Chain A
Amino acid sequence: EAQVTQNPRYLITVTGKKLTVTCSQNMNHEYMSWYRQDPGLGLRQIYYSMNVEVTDKGDVPEGYKVSRKEKRNFPLILESPSPNQTSLYFCASSLFRQATSGANVLTFGAGSRLTVL
């Protein structure tokens, strides 16, 4: 089944304790992206990757890092989490960034709910 898999789905951690949210896709997609969803703010892009070893900042990159060493994986790293990073995180992928319809649009993972105390 074509899918984007995120782990963990739920995590409660404490301020300053480094964590990684993994993301893997099995569709051979070039483009991958991380979003966070917050009440009243919708989905905001954190980082994206156009291809292996090519990453760039989205709208809200502060406090996050990413890497794209392999095509299928795009982990999100919080080096020193803070309470304002408590959010629902989504990883997404598509064949290419400009996709707008049909099978080429963004496919999202099920989400990772992170709480930082």
Chain B
Amino acid sequence: DQQVKQNSPSLSVQEGRISILNCDYTNSMFDYFLWYKKYPAEGPTFLISISSIKDKNEDGRFTVFLNKSAKHLSLHIVPSQPGDSAVYFCAARLGLGAGGTSYGKLTFGQGTILTVHP
């Protein structure tokens, strides 16, 4: 049962344009959502996060939007740069309401390969 889904395995964008990466989830017990970026031959690195009580969080060129009613979040990169080409993982954290030892557990999506062309 995939609780966090990234339905687009890949995305190709022209430099300077907007990249939009999507993520859907099913568990209403998630209280935080995070995006990680991964370059080849490296481990994932944290990019940006958002609390479930917010609908937007911005950090420079990166903005994450959360639509709780649709159980959907998206990462916007504006403007996209060739150095943004990487695999992007969405992750969701189980909140206190999940109970017991589940609190804090991260569930990752399948990842989306972003390619930004010069």
Binding site for B on A (CB under 8 A): 4, 35, 40-45, 56, 90, 92, 96-101, 105-111
Given A40-B110, A106-B106, A100-B42 contact (CB < 8 Å):
no
Interface residues on B, range: 20 to 34
Which of B32, B45, B109 is A108 in contact with, Cβ under 8 Å? Answer: B45
- With contacts A98-B93, A105-B49 known, what are 18 further pairs, Cβ within 8 A? A42-B6, A42-B109, A42-B110, A43-B44, A43-B108, A44-B108, A45-B105, A45-B106, A56-B101, A90-B44, A96-B104, A97-B104, A101-B49, A105-B46, A106-B44, A106-B46, A107-B43, A109-B43
Complex Cα distance A55/B110, Å? 25
Is B103 an interface position by the 8 A CB rule? yes
Instruction: Tell me what chain A mostly uses at the interface: helix, strand, loop, or mixed.
Output: loop
Report B-chain residues with C-beta under 8 Å of the C-beta of A105: 34, 46, 49
What would be 26 A-B contacts, judged by CB atoms less than 8 Å apart? Answer: A40-B9, A40-B110, A41-B110, A42-B4, A45-B105, A45-B106, A90-B43, A92-B43, A97-B104, A98-B93, A99-B104, A101-B34, A101-B46, A101-B49, A105-B34, A105-B46, A105-B49, A106-B106, A107-B43, A108-B43, A108-B44, A108-B45, A109-B43, A110-B41, A110-B42, A111-B42
